[in-house]
Amino acid sequence: ASQNVMETLIAIVNCLFLFRYNGIILAGGGSMLPNVRERLEREVLEQAPGQARVKVIASQNVMERKFGVWIGGSILASLGSFQQCWMSKQEYEEKGAALIHLKAP
């Protein structure tokens, strides 16, 4: 029975790993470079496992692409639940980067 559980868990992990290739989102000023979406998709496809589906997404709206990162960051920072994730410089120096796993599990 435990062998079946392990095989299932491995299959799930592999599926999730392959799923990561299927939704790469380009944003920010660098996404405005000519043919960057096509080039990135081609290069990722060349290095991805054979059964992975690769899809690179870039909005057609220039302003959305250019400022999407800032808009998303603004929305995230305005969420009440996000405020508990902040750490001070002192906390970081005392506990290190691993503290983020406690603050934002």
Whether residue 16 has pLDDT greater than 70: no
- Going from the C-alpha of 39 to that of each of 32, 50, 55, 84, 103, the distances in angstroms are 12, 18, 12, 39, 37
- Measured between alpha carbons, how far is 104 from 83 in angstroms, rounded to an integer? 10
Residue 90's pLDDT band, with cuts at 50, 70 and 90, is very high
Answer yes or no: is pLDDT of 2 > 90: no
pLDDT at position 34: 92
What pTM does this model have? Answer: 0.57
Domain boundaries, the chain: 1-58, 68-105
Rounded CA gap, 101 and 81, in Å?
15
Mean pLDDT of 1-23: 72
**Whether residue 85 has pLDDT greater than 90:** no
Q: Pick the closest to residue 28 from 73, 55, 72, 68 (CA basis).
A: 68
- Coil, strand or helix at 102: helix
Percent pLDDT > 90 in the chain is 9
pLDDT score at 15 = 66
DSSP 59: -
* DSSP helix/strand/coil, 24: strand
User: When comparing pLDDT for 56 and 21, which is higher?
Assistant: 56
Q: pLDDT for 38-58, tens place per residue?
A: 998 999 888 888 888 889 988
Return the beta strands (E) in 4-50 as ranges.
Answer: 24-25
Q: Measured between alpha carbons, how far apart are the two ends of the chain, in Å?
A: 31
